[in-house]
Amino acid sequence: MEDILARLCNFEPVQYVQGKAPFLGRDFLVRPGVLIPRPETAELVEMLLEKSATARRFLDIGTGSGCIAISIAKALPEAEVWAWDISEAALEVARENNERLQATVRFERRDVFAALGGETGWLDVIVSNPPYIMEEEKEGMERNVLEWEPEEALFVPHNESPLYFYRRIAEVGQRLLRNGGMLYFEINRAYGLVLQAELAAMGYADIALFEDTFGNPRFVTARKDCMD
C-alpha cells in the first residue's frame, strides 16, 4: 500500500499502477512506454464498427497497447486485422494483450514513413490515432500525462506540421486501400477542418468530421475515391 501511495503521489497514472486500463468492456495491460487507452478512442472504434461492419481487412497504424486492433478483431471474428507500431515496447504489450484476450491481430514493427514496396490495394479500412498534440500545448497538460506517458505517442515532432502523421497515413491509404476503402482518424480538435481540406486535395471523397461525447470535433472519416 505504501508503494502504491508513493507512486500515486509521484503523479504516476493509476492505470500504470494497476497495470491495466478498461477499453470497450475489456481490460488491456498497460505500463510506462505505452499510451493509456482513452474513452474518445473507444468512440472511434464504435463508429468504425458501425460504419464498416462488413469490411474484412483492417490496418491499425500506431497501435500502442493494441486496444483498437484487438477490439476490431474481437467484434469481427471473420476479419483479418494488422497493426503497426514503431515502438518495440508498445508491441510487446500489444502482443501480450492479443494473447490474453485470445485475439488474432498480426502485429508488425513498421515505420509508417518507410517505403511500402509493392503492396497495393489490399485493405478495406485504415484506422489511426496518431500523435497529434503540438509542443506549445504542453503547458496546459496534466503532470500524470506529461511526465509519464510516452512523448512519441503524444506529440507531433518539434516544428513539424500538425498534419505530419495524418498526411503520411493518407498517402499510405492511397496505396494500400482498395477503391472505396475507408480512413478513420482520431484528431486534434483544432485541426479538423484543415485535415478535411488536405484529404480533399489528395483525392479522398465523402470526408466527414464527427464530434466526441464532449462536443469536440474529434474524428475524421474519408473514402478512397475510385480513380482510373
Nearest to 149 by CA among 15, 53, 26, 22: 15
pLDDT at 40: 95
Rounded Cα–Cα distance for residues 122 and 58 (Å):
9
Q: Rounded distance, CA 173 to CA 120, Å?
A: 9
The per-residue pLDDT for 11 is 60
Determine the pLDDT at residue 14. 84
Contact criterion met (CB below 8 Å) for 172 and 127:
no
* Terminal C-alpha separation, the chain: 64
Q: Residue 93 half-sphere exposure, CB side, CA atoms within 13 Å?
A: 25
Q: What is the pLDDT of residues 17-29, one digit of tens each?
A: 888 999 999 999 9
Burial 182-192 (b: 16+ CB within 10 A, else e): bbbbbbbeebb
Helix (H, G, I), strand (E, B) or coil at 92: helix
Reduced to 3 states (helix: H, G, I; strand: E, B; else coil), residue 98 is: helix
Task: Enter the C-alpha cell of residue 128.
Answer: 489511426
* Residues near 115 by beta carbon (within 8 Å), at least 6 away in sequence: none
> For position 146, what pLDDT does the model report?
58
* CATH at residue 127: 3.40.50.150
- For the entire predicted model, the pTM comes to 0.91
Q: How many CB atoms lie within 10 A of CB 153?
A: 21
Domain of 90 in residue numbering reads as: 2-224
Q: Which residues of the chain have pLDDT under 70?
A: 4, 7-11, 134-149, 151, 153-154, 158-159, 226-228
Q: What are the residues facing 107 on neighbouring strands?
A: 83
CA-closest candidate to residue 173, choices 198, 148, 145: 198
Predicted confidence at residue 228, as pLDDT, reads: 40
The per-residue pLDDT for 112 is 93
Closest CA relative to residue 221, chosen from 52, 61, 88: 52
Domain count, the chain: 1
